[in-house]
A and B are shown apart, each in its own frame.
Chain A
Amino acid sequence: MSLNTLAQALISGALLGCFYTLMALGFSMILGVTRALNLAHGDLIILGGYLGYWLWSGSGLHPLFLVPVGAAALLPLGLLCQWLFQRLPEPKELSSLVLTFGLSLLLQNLMLALWRGEYRLIASESLAGSIHLGSLGLNPGRLIVAAAALAVVGALYLGLTRTRWGRAVRATSLDREAAALLGINVDEATRTTCLLALALSGGAGVLFATLHYLYPGGGIDLTLLAIVLTIWAGVGRLRSVLVAGILLGVLETLTVAWSGPRWRELVLALVLLISLLARSGGLALGRSH
């Protein structure tokens, strides 16, 4: 591999990684406040993508305008998630896996019924082409998506560390009972976090649809990706999630550059398996801010 290809892979991997961070945030936030492992996370992102595609093909609007629409469209599901996850019996992690395995199947069937399993892509011309920096070519779509992801991560970081709401959310995910005893409205913090997590997933889905083909079964890879990032970074540590996202993005682009795209899924599953085996204490080890 020439130095130029390597640099190209590193840069596009880092851009991809910023976007991976955005996609993993919803999973990690919900795990923080409800202790639920949401296996339907990736399917929710794909659903956001399909809604974005449907609006884009109907209206011809610029995909970036549709990101907030996708985010708003999934808000009601945020309330549903909060309602479901607060009702889970102990052990919450395991029963959430069972519940969300069912939700994931439900969403896949819904999307299959609505969009018939055809591959869809928001192929906006405004995001195509290539910008040249010396000998490196960059895709403007990927640049915009990475910039949007970084902006969201930055805003969320400020929200979580600088506001009253952020303190309530962090306290709730550290120790729900202690936070409630201290007068923090933990239900309110849980509700707003679930709403925000679903909005992030919906918006991320529209962006995802500009980069990758959508199909109803495509969510599982995104879920596995979110779990890997959460294992690597710990729950709620935004800066670590960003670093982990970029690492995974680079790893993926290098894998694809070296051995071709069909190895992508295998490497992702292997990385998840090895990370789980190596971190046998569970995700809770990283539970801090």
Chain B
Amino acid sequence: MPRGEWIGVGLVGAALLLLPPLSGFHPYYLYLVSTALLFGTVATSWNLLAYAGQISFGHAAFFGLGGYGAALASLAGFSPWLAIGVGGLVGAGGAAGIGLASARLRGAYLALATLAYAEVWRGIAHNWTEVSGGGAGLIGIPPLPPVGWLPLDFTRGRAGGYYLSLAFLIVILAVFAGILRSRLGLAFAAVREEEERASLLGVHPLPWKILAFALSGFFTALAGGLYVHMVRVAEPDLMFSRYFSLLPLVMATFGGLYTLLGPAIAALGLYLVSELLLHPLAPAFHQLPYALALIVVALYLPGGLAGLLRKKKHHGTA
């Protein structure tokens, strides 16, 4: 990364770290920015899977599995901090499952299968009343408790969830950056570019594909598990909402497919513009930016905003 980008990332990071005390621990704004950070995590996880060539239209399945897994663990008496980890593992399992089942599907048909998969889990959550509570869902999920060995300000009220969502985003960005520099990243790129040729060259695509699904599902489910402890209810139409499939797709493609920071930046930008600017002005149309971003990306900007910046730079040097 060039020095300018490092400075930018440092400034944004510092601002995010200091936001809770600067906003006077304002519950609404902390909740809003936490959700934006969670979307950043989910969009980056989505991008990690896309980097291995798998375009998902069903990340709501992993988000919801994480949410329900964490909610059930929490209600069973686990500490919420631990329960979120349990939810992550449930989501990783669910993601590896669909990765394995759809071994022979590519491109648009894989995308449709993941879309159907999320709908299947929504249906299960609606109907498996003994476990999921059915349409009414699970209530009484405890909030994140303060952590004794940390200064109280870091975990009081909504600040605990806020810092944990920021930590998740930093961790997934670090993991993705590590993958991009490692042999794992090469294997993912090989699977993406040409599944058949990769298998001729001795890279068996299926294990890598399942690994990419499991990793992406794990971090998405962690976000779901934290979210459920923020809203403190788990309903099928909330946890498996199509927005958790749609938004990461919009954010990652708009921010720049396969880039490290593009999806997270687009997630923060699009979500905050939609909630802070459009929601008060035109509530019925606050989702308009997502729809327009998708249409623009599909027709004019296959590389997203990052592709646009790259193009400008090329023009500059030429």
CA distance A224 to B119 in the complex (A): 10
CA distance A87 to B301 in the complex (A): 12
**Known interface pairs A94-B111, A224-B116; A103-B123 also in contact (CB < 8 Å):** no
**Known interface pairs A101-B57, A265-B119, A266-B126; A37-B112 also in contact (CB < 8 Å):** yes
Complex contact A106–B127 (CB within 8 A): no
Complex contact A88–B109 (CB within 8 A): no
Cross-chain contact of A109 among B102, B284, B294 (Cβ < 8 A): B284
CA distance A89 to B112 in the complex (A): 19
Inter-chain contacts of B105 with A (CB < 8 A): 276-277, 280
Complex contact B299–A87 (CB within 8 A): yes
Complex contact B111–A88 (CB within 8 A): no
Task: Give the nearest-CB partner of A84 in chain B.
Answer: B299
Q: How many of chain B's residues touch chain A, expressed as a range?
A: 35 or more
Which stretch in A126-134, A154-162, A238-246, A267-275 binds the other chain?
Answer: A267-275
A218: CB under 8 A from chain B?
A: no
B82: CB under 8 A from chain A?
A: no
Inter-chain contacts of A272 with B (CB < 8 A): 112, 116, 119
Query: Shortest CB–CB separation between residue B156 and chain A, in angstroms?
Result: 37
Query: Shortest CB–CB separation between residue B212 and chain A, in angstroms?
Result: 17
Complex contact A270–B120 (CB within 8 A): yes
How many residues of chain A have a CB within 8 Å of chain B? 39
Against B, the Cβ 8 Å flags (1 = close, 0 = not) of A101-128 are 1110110010011000000000000000
Docked complex: A237-289 residues within 8 A CB-CB of B: 262-263, 265-270, 272-273, 276-277, 280, 282-283
Task: Give the nearest-CB partner of A91 in chain B.
Answer: B107
A138: CB under 8 A from chain B?
A: no
Complex contact A106–B120 (CB within 8 A): no
Docked complex: A62-107 residues within 8 A CB-CB of B: 84, 87-89, 91, 93-99, 101-103, 105-106
Inter-chain contacts of A112 with B (CB < 8 A): 284
**Interface SS of B by simple majority:** helix
Complex contact A98–B284 (CB within 8 A): no
**Known interface pairs A105-B290, A105-B294; A94-B55 also in contact (CB < 8 Å):** yes
Query: Shortest CB–CB separation between residue A84 and chain B, in angstroms?
Result: 7
Inter-chain contacts of B295 with A (CB < 8 A): 99, 102-103, 106
Cross-chain contact of A88 among B101, B106, B287, B298 (Cβ < 8 A): B298
**Known interface pairs A101-B249, A106-B291, A113-B285; A273-B108 also in contact (CB < 8 Å):** no
A198: CB under 8 A from chain B?
A: no
Complex contact B291–A273 (CB within 8 A): no
Inter-chain contacts of B55 with A (CB < 8 A): 94
CA distance A272 to B119 in the complex (A): 10
CA distance A93 to B108 in the complex (A): 6
Inter-chain contacts of B294 with A (CB < 8 A): 98-99, 101-102, 105
A227: CB under 8 A from chain B?
A: yes
Task: Give the nearest-CB partner of A221 in chain B.
Answer: B119
Task: Give the nearest-CB partner of A284 in chain B.
Answer: B109
Complex contact B291–A105 (CB within 8 A): yes
Complex contact A95–B284 (CB within 8 A): no
22 contacts between A and B (CB under 8 A): A95-B298, A96-B108, A96-B298, A97-B108, A98-B297, A98-B298, A102-B293, A105-B246, A105-B287, A109-B288, A112-B284, A224-B116, A262-B126, A262-B135, A266-B127, A267-B123, A273-B117, A276-B102, A276-B105, A280-B109, A282-B106, A282-B109
